[in-house]
């Protein structure tokens, strides 16, 4: 019993030491608070995955009521008309200079061809430098052209544009779940928070360990009556506590306070999952610290590790869009499991049974990574 009490006392004292050392590093504290607040806010408010006010220029070669009506349907919030062209050759100049993303070319005889029932071509030129937004602009343009053609056909049949056309048709009734208003800020702010948690779960323990190596205090700890586990584990414990506090700050101040993200599931469950994930990723940070000789090397190694973790997480690219071998590699990215579990808890209201496969994946990876980090530490300093 005395041995257990002594062991726990050492663990508590070492954890307090790590917290005090972190609090003395004002630059790192400022950077950490900034990332969990301002960075998450900027990602949620400044990054959009949808088409919003895409710059549009129009060449109207017909100057008819029909051409003006057709061009007017390219309006906000998806398109923002920034100019009217005098000749069709000017469209490519606007696209090359980046002054427009979409150029609409309505030919002469547009209205006459429509009302004669003849096929009518309209050219829509799109800057697809950003492939996602380019495809969205093309899709919206096709929808506008299709709806305009249907309205013209209804008018020719003597029906109002919102009237029903005789004959069979498919009734499109779709429901949007979990994000009914399709707000990018919900997805982007949560995604950025999870990325920040990943970064600092590796960086803070690595910084604590490398700081000990640079100052030469790691040797003093190793000659004390402390095991390698008692030296490593308090660093993870202290940094996990810091990350959980800052995560709570980000959830309350940014996600809920600014973006009004509805937390559908249990926050207790989310923090439990986050704790497991931070332990998993902290092992990587300590493994980096056993290799790095200084903070610069540790930072470069963390960037080297976190980049493939982000690419294989499924946050930027859906797993279904990845090649087969990339989908198999996702199994070794702890961030992949954390993102699935967190989206399920925060936005879908999933419970522990639903996210059990993700928890199992994180637990297995976390155990392997921590044991490997402990082995590397013991091999270097033992």
* Domain 54-156 architecture: 3-Layer(aba) Sandwich (3.40)
Contact between 62 and 110 under an 8 Å Cβ cutoff? The reply is yes
Contact between 275 and 240 under an 8 Å Cβ cutoff? The reply is yes
Contact between 87 and 107 under an 8 Å Cβ cutoff? The reply is no
Encode pLDDT of 66-103 as tens digits.
999 999 999 888 899 998 888 888 888 888 888 899 99
For residue 248, what pLDDT band results from cuts at 50, 70 and 90? very high
| pLDDT reading at 189 higher than 70 | yes
* From-to residues of CATH 3.40.1710.10 in the chain: 54-156
Residue 92 has a pLDDT of: 85
Residue 254 has a pLDDT of: 94
Count of other CB atoms within 10 angstroms of residue 146: 10
For residue 251, what pLDDT band results from cuts at 50, 70 and 90? very high
Of 13-17, 46-50, 167-171, the poorest mean pLDDT is in 167-171
Residue 116 has a pLDDT of: 82
């Amino acid at each position: 019993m005395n041995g257990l009490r002594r062991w726990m006392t050492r663990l508590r004292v070492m954890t307090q030491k790590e917290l005090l050392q972190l609090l003395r590093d004002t630059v790192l504290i400022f950077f950490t608070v900034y990332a969990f607040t301002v960075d998450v806010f900027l990602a949620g408010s400044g990054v959009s995955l949808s088409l919003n006010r895409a710059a549009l220029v129009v060449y109207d070669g017909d100057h008819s009521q029909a051409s003006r009506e057709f061009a007017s349907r390219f309006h906000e919030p998806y398109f923002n008309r920034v100019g009217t062209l005098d000749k069709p050759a000017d469209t490519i100049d606007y696209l090359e200079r980046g002054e427009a993303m979409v150029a609409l070319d309505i030919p002469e005889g547009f209205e006459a061809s429509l009302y004669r029932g003849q096929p009518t071509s309209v050219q829509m030129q799109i800057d697809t430098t950003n492939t996602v937004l380019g495809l969205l602009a093309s899709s919206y343009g096709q929808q506008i052209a299709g709806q305009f053609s249907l309205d013209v056909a209804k008018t020719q049949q003597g029906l109002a544009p919102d009237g029903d056309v005789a004959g069979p048709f498919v009734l499109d009734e779709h429901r949007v779940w979990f994000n009914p208003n399709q707000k990018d800020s919900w997805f982007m702010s949560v995604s950025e928070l999870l990325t920040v948690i990943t970064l600092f779960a590796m960086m803070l323990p690595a910084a604590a360990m490398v700081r000990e190596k640079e100052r030469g205090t790691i040797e003093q700890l190793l000659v004390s009556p402390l095991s390698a586990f008692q030296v490593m584990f308090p660093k993870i414990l202290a940094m996990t506590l810091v990350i959980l506090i800052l995560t709570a700050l980000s959830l309350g101040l940014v996600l809920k306070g600014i973006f009004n993200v509805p937390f559908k599931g249990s926050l207790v469950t989310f923090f439990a999952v986050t704790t497991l994930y931070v332990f998993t990723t902290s092992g990587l940070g300590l493994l980096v610290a056993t290799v790095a000789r200084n903070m610069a090397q540790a930072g470069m190694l963390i960037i080297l590790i976190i980049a493939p973790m982000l690419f294989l997480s499924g946050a930027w690219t859906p797993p279904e869009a990845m090649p087969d071998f990339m989908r198999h590699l996702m199994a070794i990215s702890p961030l992949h499991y954390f993102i699935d579990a967190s989206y399920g808890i925060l936005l879908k209201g999933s419970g522990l049974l639903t996210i059990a496969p993700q928890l199992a994946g994180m637990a297995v990876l976390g155990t392997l990574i921590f044991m490997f980090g402990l082995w590397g530490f013991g091999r270097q300093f033992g």
